[in-house]
Chain A
Amino acid sequence: MARFLIRRVSQGLFVLLLMTFTIYAIFFLGPGPQQVARVLAGKEATPAQIAAIAAHFELNQPWYVAYGHFLAQIFFHGNFGYDYYNSVPVTTSIMQALPITLSLVIGAAILWLAIGLFTGIVSAVKTRSFADRALTAQALLFYSMPVFVLGLLFIWIGYSVLTTHGVAIFPAPGSWTPFTTNPLAWAHDLILPWLTIALVSAATYTRLTRGAMLDVFGEDYIRTARSKGMPEKRVIVVHNLRASLTPVVTQFGLDVGVLLGGAIITETVFSLPGLGWTAIKAIQSQDLPLVMGITIVASVAVVILNMAADIMYAVLDPRVRIH
């Protein structure tokens, strides 16, 4: 297990290093140093300011010096640069957006895991029943549903139509209350965005869980467990679910990782100023340091969660550790 951990973590770090270089290359190497300095400085910068910025990023040095400087700033000083557009450090902008994205992802993840696992298990245990067919059809529908279509549908029916008919149960899009201010209002404001992400994501989990459990039901050790007279509940939960969870865990790591980098579409649909929304605004205003900062945070999230998923996988399924 220790060797597996070391190998997996070093792979993760290597990919992370590649990612920082990719981001650096897109934003710095592509356009050329002078152009970068001009964009970084903003539209109204004086030549002196541009020169100062070029010097600060060591843009006039060879690319590897500038890249090394860029890396050192991030990893040793936690310095993602300065958000010249909003006149604050990039970390400040990111820390403002992060709680919103975190709230969105955590709530949605709990919901979609609960919905996806429950429907998947019911579907697999009651194969070919009416419930199975209904749940499978439902999963197929949401699996095909683009996130923005569902989100807009919720805003239209859940907010607009209901509110104009006097049933104002869902808040207007864009509502946001920090958890620390009022947990209930926090949850109330996020219900529709949560449901949007959760229903679309849960469909994948329903399909995954159902498929994996049906596969495992065909295994010899399930027959052995049943022939020992083990109660069906125990067969399902202890023998089947544990083995079936491995693909679910991998998928969960991937999904949460991607969403932590900004649930871009959901945040856009509901006008929630999380990481994704901030990134889009930053790109529109050519606020490059902020875009880079968010892209790096997003890749770190993906790499770490993939790593966590692989490690969980190894914990759940001892066979993985050997390879």
Chain B
Amino acid sequence: MSFNISGATAQVEAVSVAEPSVGEQQKTIQGKSPWVLASRRLRRDRASMISLGIIIFIVVCAIAAPVFAAITGHGNMTQYNTIGRTPAGQPVGPSSTFWLGTDSQGRDLLVRIMYGARVSLFVGVAATAVTVIGGTILGLAAGFFGGWIDSVIARFFDWLLAIPFLLLAIALFSVAVQSPIFGFIGPGLPIVIIVLGFFGWASVGRIVRGQVLSIKEKEYIEAARALGAGPWRIMFIDVLPNLLAPLIVYTTLLIPLTIVGAASLSFLGVGVQPPTADWGQMINDASGMFLYGSWWYLLFPSLALLITTLVFNIFGDGVRDAFDPRGDLYV
């Protein structure tokens, strides 16, 4: 029974720890869980719902990319050297055959963009997961145990933040091209996910640590301790669930940042490697030739990338406002 109570309070705290507000307390009296309230607020937010619709559309495009390739008959790797290129070897513009034109290799740009969505979404989610899981574990340990563990983790975070991340990613890539790091981390997707996942630990970890420090002082933690719960039980059963709300918010806002990060690495040529279709790499390829006329090659991958990050950001803002009702007062 007592654990039920502590669980319920815990969930309320998850929200009010971050931002205490009068509105939240009034609503709890009605006996609805913060999760129900948050999802209702989110569903009422039109911008978030439209963004969510577009996100689902992008996901569907990514999954259905082979289906679409089969319908058009244009494989994502197939080079159409006669119809997909001008006599001078330049890409051809949008037409009824190639809706968005072709790329520098005479491949169907639309099909390539749909395949590129797979890479972007996969990296966005996978690297964000690495970031959030790693950061949460470290932040939890730092905040919960304090003392020397906290100091060591704090210096570790300082060190992470001092690393010039793009430079190091490029350097690691150049090392990995010669021989896989530790024998298995080769250039391309693995290095992108590791680099992007690793560098976010400090920011997630600091947020989690701050939350844990304030949660640690709550009565229900004292109650759990009084009931004889050990540190690990308190950490995972009593503290961790209260971190879920801020973590969900942070994760949704981190995905677009990670997608841009991955695209930036590809743009610099140290990310996902050709011939895999990837937006950053397409933009990089286009950047050398769009001044000679093939504007579609620059425009459409850029739009795909921009729209994806934009809808994720709008949705992320919506999720944050839903969990943080104080936003209602202002926006």
CB within 8 Å of B: which residues of A?
A: 11, 14-16, 18-19, 22, 26-27, 30-31, 127-128, 140-141, 143-149, 152-153, 155-156, 160, 214, 254, 258, 261-262, 264-265, 268-269, 276, 279-280, 283-284, 286, 291, 294-295, 298-299, 302-303, 306
Contacts and interface: CB of A to CB of B under 8 A. Distances in A.
A298 B290 CA distance: 32
Given A18-B159, A262-B167, A264-B166, 13 more contacts: A18-B162, A146-B305, A148-B267, A152-B283, A153-B302, A155-B291, A258-B165, A264-B167, A265-B166, A279-B170, A284-B174, A299-B162, A303-B162
A244 B205 CA distance: 24
Given A128-B331, A146-B260, A269 B159 contact: no
Contact of B264 (A22, A147, A283): A147
Interface residues of B, number: 44
Contacts of B286: 152
Contact of A265 (B171, B268, B305): B268
B283 A140 contact: no
A280 B268 contact: yes
Contacts of B306: 144-146, 149
Given A149-B302, A149-B306, A294-B167, A264 B283 contact: no
Given A19-B159, A144-B306, A160-B291, A295 B166 contact: no
A291 B155 CA distance: 25
Contacts of B168: 26, 295
19 contacts: A16-B162, A18-B162, A30-B181, A140-B310, A140-B313, A141-B310, A146-B263, A146-B280, A146-B309, A149-B302, A155-B291, A258-B165, A264-B268, A265-B166, A265-B268, A269-B287, A283-B170, A298-B164, A299-B163
B159 A26 contact: no
Interface string B286-329: 11001100010010001001100110111001000000000000
A26 B167 contact: no
A110 B84 CA distance: 46
A258 B290 contact: no
B298 A156 contact: yes
Which of A26, A30, A144, A279 neighbours the largest number of chain B CB atoms within 10 Å of its CB?
A144
Contacts of A283: 170-171, 174
Contacts of A30: 175, 181
Consensus secondary structure, chain A interface = helix
A185 B113 CA distance: 40
Nearest to A263: B166
Contacts of B248: none
A11 B158 CA distance: 9
Contact of B163 (A22, A156, A262, A306): A22
A86 to B, nearest CB: 18
Most buried by B among A127, A128, A295: A295
B216 to A, nearest CB: 16
A128 B167 CA distance: 41
A290 to B, nearest CB: 11
A140 B161 contact: no
B171 A15 contact: no
Interface of B: 155, 158-159, 161-168, 170-172, 174-175, 178, 181, 256, 260, 263-264, 267-268, 280, 283-284, 286-287, 290-291, 295, 298, 302, 305-306, 309-310, 312-314, 317, 330-331
Nearest to A17: B159
Nearest to A35: B178
A262 B172 CA distance: 17
Contact of B268 (A18, A127, A141, A268): A268
Contacts of B305: 146, 149
Contacts of B167: 261-262, 264, 276, 279, 291, 294-295, 298
Q: Which of A27, A264, A269, A291 has the most CB of B within 10 A?
A: A264
Contacts of A27: 171
B91 to A, nearest CB: 15
**Among the interface residues B166, B263, B313, which one has the most CB atoms of the partner chain A within 10 A?**
B166
Nearest to A14: B155
Nearest to B261: A146
- 6 tightest A-B CB contacts, nearest first: A298-B164, A144-B309, A144-B310, A261-B164, A149-B302, A15-B158
